[in-house]
Chain A
Amino acid sequence: MTVPTMSSVTKTPKVAIIGNPNVGKSTIFNQLTGLNQKIGNYPGVTVDKKTGTMNYHGSSYEIIDLPGTYSLYPNSEDEVIAHRVLNQLSESEKPEFVLMVIDSSQLSRGLFLATQLIDLGLSLAIVLNMADLATKRNIGIKTFEIFKALGVPILSTDARGEKGLDQIRDLIHNRNFSKKGSFLAIEEVVPIGLLEEVMAKFGMTNTYQAYQMLRFGRVDKIIAQEDRDWIKDKLEGLNFDLEAAQLEETKIRYRKITTIVEHAVLKEVSTIKEKSGLDSLFLHPIWGYVIFTAILLIIFQAIFAWASVPMDLIDGFFAEMSGKVSDLLPDGPFSSLIAEGIIPGIGGVVIFIPQIALLFGFLAILEDTGYMSRVVFLMDRWMRPFGLHGKSVVPLVSGVACAIPGIMAARNIGNWKEKIITIMVTPLMSCSARLPVYVILIGLVVPDRSFGFVNLQALTLLGLYILGIVGVLGTAFLLKIILKTTEKSYLMVELPSYRAPRWWDVVLTMYNKSKTFVLEAGKVILAISVILWVLASYGPPAKMDEVRAAGEAKLALAATPEAEEQIVSETSSQLLENSFVGIMGRAIEPVIRPLGYDWKIGIALIASFAAREVFVSTIATIYSIGGDPDNDLTIREKLNQQIRPDGDKVYNTATAFSLMIFYAFAMQCMSTLAVVYRETKGWKWPLIQTVYMTALAYLSALLVYQVLS
């Protein structure tokens, strides 16, 4: 047991949770922290840093959920993070305690990392999770044998079944972690003189940490250039082969672990039988794809059917609120900004919470049940001919929610060419920001009719998502031909056991993602709504005064209330047309006219280049400006009322589909461009991406409009 240090008494103790991927780390993290979570970035990289607070018996503990890793030999950026956090030189930055989570049925693999952590001299405790699965597979573990061999506290838990969680809380609260010191003497494979020199140079006290610095410090850009050069010179001077040393270390470590496992594991039954059950169906060469397609169809059907009721309520609520606020506040620009700019803008954000929560909920279920890994395996053979990798499926499926985490997930792909292709095509997947645009436009032009149990609107939505996939595959194929590399590629994916989803985790994901959408996208949408309202309400003063004067003159001559109403409406429309935003919209009208768009849609397109989700709030603002203050129509009703000079609806079938196709392909997200810039370290790829996606969007929308109109 560790005696509480001064730092752990005076400040909140930091506990890092680490383990191999899919061992239940996040489930334990969620159970310990509940809603007290926040997501940030690790310094130096964009990998999500999930931290949370555990409150227990009047004390608080900071819990860090580290990315899954198999060893302290980082191969991907996620693993680099875990490596950096645990190898910190600064004691204040380093977690005081480390909770190592191991899948009870994969003991050897988990112990490999655990013994490396012991060698690093960390205060450690081991959690043997998924005890229920081990029991199901007839695997008995003598935890005392492991404790005897490693000398660190061991707990057996089933986090999904909420068994053993109080023991984890007690363990953290009592600081029942142990610093064993060493499992393997690294001096057996690396000259002690070299290790001592590194320890002296960097002020270390641990030989294994010195070895880690030798092995990875020279390529880690977080280490000062001067220090990296020093390590390089040392290694070159001694002509020492570190890769051979790593191989030797791995062999010795596994040999020792095998002895422990032989003593600790009572019985291990082959898992082949279990895998042949559900996998024979989900990975079937025909049924596997049929099931995958059916699952996608069910998701889209649910997004439409279940979300429509709360969406209609939210839409109606904001329309009514806009009218009420307009009545209550005194006339003036601020009142108009609230009623015509801010309220419709906020409404344009809040209305999509039900759909976004549902989409993320479904994605969480697919991930949590272990099905997503099967999709990676299933799709690999179809990805290869297009220059993609089985692992590209994860970025692409994540791209359905948002391209940003999707592009960041591409860092799991080791092959440079496949990674670049994945980054370039992921924004073509229909993200959740496109969903509001699709939903509004489909609702306007596609009848709400069903064929059997399949709804026509849901089918159209699915069609748009499939179109995104076609765009992905076509573009990837072209890039495969253009880009050249000699790197070889392979697929290695772990198929985790099938589990029932943890509903609390699903709910937490839905809550966190919706909150992020409202707070992040919402702020941008709100800021753009404010600016847009000003640009739509003001214009060159002389021209605006001229329009107002002409309107007043006509109004003075009006004979009937109907004529007066007609004149007010015409004047409002002319004021908008001559406003700053109207001038911008009309400037691009010649370019977008062949796509079936008028200058008002042009304004929405301009605003959407920052973030496509502002489309709905933009048109809501534009069509609210100068409208009847008592008019509390919903966004969809307002769009449906827009008529062209020739009498046809502005949002007819051809225009609506042309718009949907444009939004399906266009690069309209500055945040995505910023992430592509960060991931590729330059403007070359983001620029190529913007140009090709805009060209693709324009040409496809042109084709669709010309064919349908």
Chain B
Amino acid sequence: MVQEIVVGILVLAALGYLVKKFFFKSKGEAGCDKCAKP
């Protein structure tokens, strides 16, 4: 049972990390306006 709980926590941590990494970029990293030249 303890092992299952540890695995569950690890999976949640891994999922949380991936979601944060790929879907929540900090706004401070927005591109420079010079690059959006039409």
Contacts and interface: CB of A to CB of B under 8 A. Distances in A.
Contacts of B7: 333-334, 337, 534
A192 interface: no
A527 B17 contact: yes
Contacts of A411: 32, 34-35
Interface in B1-38: 2-4, 6-7, 10-11, 13-15, 17-18, 21-22, 25, 28-38
Contact of B32 (A45, A610, A674, A682): A45
B35 A680 contact: yes
A145 interface: no
What range describes how many residues of A lie at the interface?
35 or more
A80 interface: yes
Contacts of A219: 33
Contact of B34 (A41, A77, A337, A534): A77
A670 to B, nearest CB: 5
A524 B18 contact: yes
A80 B10 contact: no
Contacts of A333: 3-4, 7
Contact of A527 (B3, B18, B35, B38): B18
Given A334-B3, A523-B17, A530-B14, A46 B22 contact: no
B34 to A, nearest CB: 6
Interface in A659-694: 670-671, 674, 678-682
A687 to B, nearest CB: 16
Nearest to B18: A527
Given A411-B35, A416-B38, A531 B29 contact: no
- Max chain A CB contacts within 10 Å: which of B2, B28, B38? B28
Contact of B31 (A45, A332, A416, A671): A45
Nearest to A337: B7
A420 to B, nearest CB: 9
A45 B34 CA distance: 10
A682 B17 CA distance: 24
A44 interface: yes
Contacts of B34: 76-77, 80, 411
A221 B30 CA distance: 11
A41 B18 contact: no
A502 B37 CA distance: 38
B38 A46 contact: no
A531 B31 contact: no
Q: Which of B18, B29, B30, B31 has the most CB of A within 10 A?
A: B31
Interface string A481-515: 00000000000000000000000000000000000
B4 to A, nearest CB: 6
Secondary structure at the A interface, as helix, strand, loop or mixed, is helix
A43 interface: yes
Contacts of B15: 527, 531
Contacts of A610: 18, 22
A46 B38 CA distance: 20
Contacts of B10: 337, 530
Given A333-B3, A334-B3, A416-B38, A528 B31 contact: no
A681 B17 contact: no
Contact of B37 (A80, A416, A526): A416
B28 A530 contact: no
A147 B15 CA distance: 60
A76 B32 CA distance: 10
Given A41-B28, A334-B6, A680-B31, A534 B11 contact: yes
A218 B22 CA distance: 34
A308 interface: no
Contacts of A41: 28-29
Nearest to B6: A334
A329 to B, nearest CB: 9
A73 to B, nearest CB: 13
Nearest to A678: B31
A219 B34 CA distance: 9
A610 B30 CA distance: 21
Interface in A195-228: 219, 221
A391 interface: no
Contacts of A337: 7, 10
A34 B3 CA distance: 44
B11 A531 contact: yes
Contacts of B4: 332-334
A526 B10 CA distance: 11
Nearest to B28: A43
B14 A531 contact: yes
Contacts of B6: 334
Contacts of B28: 41, 43-44
B35 A419 contact: yes
Contacts of B25: 674, 678
B30 to A, nearest CB: 6
Interface string A636-679: 00000000000000000000000000000000001100100011
A335 B2 CA distance: 11
B32 A80 contact: yes
A243 B36 CA distance: 23
A609 to B, nearest CB: 11
A75 B22 CA distance: 31
Contacts of A45: 29-32
A572 to B, nearest CB: 19
A334 B21 CA distance: 25
B14 A46 contact: no
A532 B19 CA distance: 15
B18 to A, nearest CB: 5
16 contacts: A43-B28, A44-B32, A46-B31, A76-B34, A77-B32, A333-B3, A333-B4, A334-B6, A416-B37, A524-B21, A610-B22, A670-B22, A674-B25, A679-B31, A679-B35, A680-B36
Given A416-B38, A527-B13, A681-B31, 10 more contacts: A44-B28, A80-B34, A221-B33, A333-B4, A334-B2, A530-B14, A534-B11, A670-B22, A680-B36, A681-B35
Closest 7 A/B residue pairs (Cβ): A334-B3, A527-B14, A332-B3, A681-B36, A678-B31, A530-B14, A45-B32
